[in-house]
Amino acid sequence: MSLDIVLASGSESRRRLLESAGVEAAAVRPNVDEDAMKAGLRAEGVSVRDQAMRLAELKSAKVSQRQPGLVIGGDQMLALGDEAFDKPKDLDGARDHLRKLSGKAHTLETAIVVCENGQPVWRHLARPRLTMRSLSEEFIEDYVDKVGEPLLSTVGAYQLEGLGAQLFNKIEGDYFSILGLPLLPLLDYLRIRGVLKT
């Protein structure tokens, strides 16, 4: 009997990554209050990587309680030292993100949890490290003007698959994890579970 695959996310980029890799997954929004959860975790002093993992598990478990099959929950947070970055609220916020990240290395804490029958059965944390070159104010203004609103859908206010490639002088980690889904380890797990052919 084949297991259904469910993506506990409204993220179009995660769904497209799975689809491009030949994985058919129904997308179901988990409807969790991420802002309240993050605020609580940060008040407790939880590390950025653990915040990402706890949010990924919460999303997956919530959808898995009502959907059969393997439910994939993911979350990505940007850590600049101990400071967590959320998606910018507006283009001024995107400019602020880029100014703070300019000339520095940061980590994308990219967590994924698979739940079945409401319980976690597999988890993975990828930690790509990206070093942003020093950006001039003129470059930041031009970049934000050219890319616009799509910058608000990423924690770092960049899109590596487009003009965002110009922001960096060093990237350590895999491309899929930077886009928000550690795809290769997930595909390995789906093969172990018999969902994909070996």
Residues marked active site are found at 75
The answer to whether residues 122 and 72 touch, using CB atoms and an 8 Å cutoff, is no
CA 28/CA 11 separation, integer angstroms: 10
Helix (H, G, I), strand (E, B) or coil at 42: helix
CA 192/CA 198 separation, integer angstroms: 8
Residue 193, token pair as written in the block? 């579970």
CA 127/CA 73 separation, integer angstroms: 17
Partners of 15 in the beta sheet?
none
- Residue whose C-alpha is closest to residue 57's, from 40, 37, 42: 37
Residue 112, token pair as written in the block? 């994924």
Using alpha carbons, list the distances in angstroms from residue 151 to 44, 72, 140: 29, 24, 12
